[in-house]
Amino acid sequence: MANLLLARAAVRQKEIALRLAVGASRSRLMRQFLTESVLLSVFGGAVGLFLSLAGLDLLKRFIPPNISHAEAATIDAKVLSFTVLVSLVTGLIFGIAPATQAANFNLNDTLKESGRDPGSGGNRIRGLLVISEVAVSFVLLIGAGLLINSFMRLRNVDPGFRPEKLLTMKIVLPEVRYPDRATRSAFYTELIRQVETVPGVKSAAVATSLPLTDTGNSIGISIEGRPDPGPDHVPIVITRIVSSRYFETMGIPLLKGRVFTEQDRAESTGVVVVSEITARRLWPGEDPTGKRISGWSTDPQRKWVQIIGVVKDVRQFGLAADPKLQIYLPYEQARFFEPRALIVRTDVDPMSLATMVRRTVWEIDKDQPVSDISSMEEIVSQSVARQRFSTLLLGVFASLALLLAAVGIYGVMSYSVAQRTHEIGIRIALGAQRSDVLKMTVGEGLRLVSTGLVIGLAGALILTRLMSSLLFGVSANDPTTFITISVILVSVAVLASYVPALRATRVDPMFALRYQ
């Protein structure tokens, strides 16, 4: 805005000189310029406020559901007051520079020169503003680039299972209808059997909780043959109670030993499957299969269960969080923690089978509640919703900053070409090649951008330190991001300078010599 007002004031210098010549005071001229700039700001703020009403509805679609009170976001009196205040302050601040420039120049020189040359002061101010725009846009683009890079790496993280074509739903058995383990086990066995007969279903399983849902039960464990480490040093593991085909349904690879079968019943020997990181941490350099563990207790008669297999690590609390120690127990042998999630592997779009699977549940028990029906891919997507939202916001701000920087560079270079039409005509008349004029004009724009890049680099290094906690798998000073953003910004600057420069090469020397 300041750049546009400075250029406008420079163009109106002859008009201002005439006003001064016929008796207008400089203070009155300054008031006029400030009034114009404030009116522009207020009208601009009003248009922006109108656009924000539509933008807010669009923004709400991208706000993650786990951000509290997101739906209550609205443009209230505080937001409206802030908008009005910013608009007024913007008009006053950015109106002072052109107002001061317009009211402080030599009247005689301006009338004699017909306002052809606005002076170097305005040019310097406009150049400084472009440098500031480039610096700010560089900082925001670096932040957005790092977040985008981080988000892409996060989405490429292996969760430890295959989320495609998985249907999930929550089923909590009421204790009144299913008071003991036998009745609950019978329900789940029949449920899995009937769901697997639904056309399009490959396999089905139940589990206490789903990965990436920030839920999971934890217990302390004891390892047979090792001394009691004491309550403060007991290994804590996430425990999932699952059915026999859970690993097959989820697509969790078996690394060693075997997984559960239908023979692992309540009366059978107690068995457990551990995750890869659990085996590596608790039995470093050893094969854990065949070893026994139990829930931590000082009771010498505690029940031991045998490790029968090792499976790949699964990320439980988000893709950005490292896998935790985890064990799996067959639901028919578990004395604690009941399955609450039904998982179905399908051959078709999983959501297309949601109605049929839910109807199957009600065929077994017509009063059984079924909730939280979704695909596993949706759960994976929701687990990175906050990172995606942060990336979107900063990306939008960075894009707007880049657009403003491009407009600023274009405006300055266009105005510079218009003011130097006479000079360019003389250069061409004296034999300068049009390519030389093109290089001169584009080079002027690149000098401004280079200065802005250097300043923006210092700001970006500070910003990246503050946002390092938001990044995943990428350094805060990632050279690839810095180089890529620099190339993008320079390319935009070249394009913004090229159009006015191309116009300068087409100046007719005869017209230019008669210009003004």
Q: pLDDT tens digits, residue range 427-470?
A: 777 777 878 878 887 888 888 888 989 999 988 888 888 888 77
SS (H, E, C) 430-453: CCCCHHHHHHHHHHHHHHHHHHHH
Would 379 be classed as within a structural domain? no
Would 375 be classed as within a structural domain? no
Q: E strands of 10-58, at which residues?
A: none
User: What is the reported pLDDT for 114?
Assistant: 47
Would 328 be classed as within a structural domain? yes
Q: Are residues 349 and 407 in the same domain?
A: no
Rounded to whole angstroms, the Cα distance separating 90 from 102 reads: 19
User: What is the reported pLDDT for 199?
Assistant: 95
Whether the pTM exceeds 0.85: the reply is: no
Would 60 be classed as within a structural domain? yes
463: domain range?
123-159+384-516
Q: Are residues 147 and 204 in the same domain?
A: no
pLDDT classification of 385: cutoffs 50, 70, 90 = confident
Rg over alpha carbons for the chain, rounded to the nearest Å, is: 35
Q: Are residues 317 and 348 in the same domain?
A: yes
Q: Are residues 144 and 202 in the same domain?
A: no
Q: Are residues 436 and 454 in the same domain?
A: yes
Would 209 be classed as within a structural domain? yes
Q: Are residues 109 and 63 in the same domain?
A: yes
pLDDT at 160 over 50: yes
Q: pLDDT tens digits, residue range 17-41?
A: 777 777 777 778 778 878 888 888 8
Q: Are residues 112 and 141 in the same domain?
A: no
Q: How many structural domains does the chain have?
A: 3
Give the number of other CB atoms < 10 A from CB of residue 224: 11
Decide: 356 and 188 in contact? Cβ < 8 Å: no
Q: Are residues 354 and 491 in the same domain?
A: no
By residue count, the chain amounts to 516
Q: Are residues 2 and 143 in the same domain?
A: no
Give the number of other CB atoms < 10 A from CB of residue 399: 14
Q: Are residues 146 and 182 in the same domain?
A: no
User: What is the reported pLDDT for 75?
Assistant: 84
Name the percent of the chain in helix, strand, coil, to the closest 5: 55, 10, 30
Closest C-alpha among 11, 1, 13 to residue 102:
13
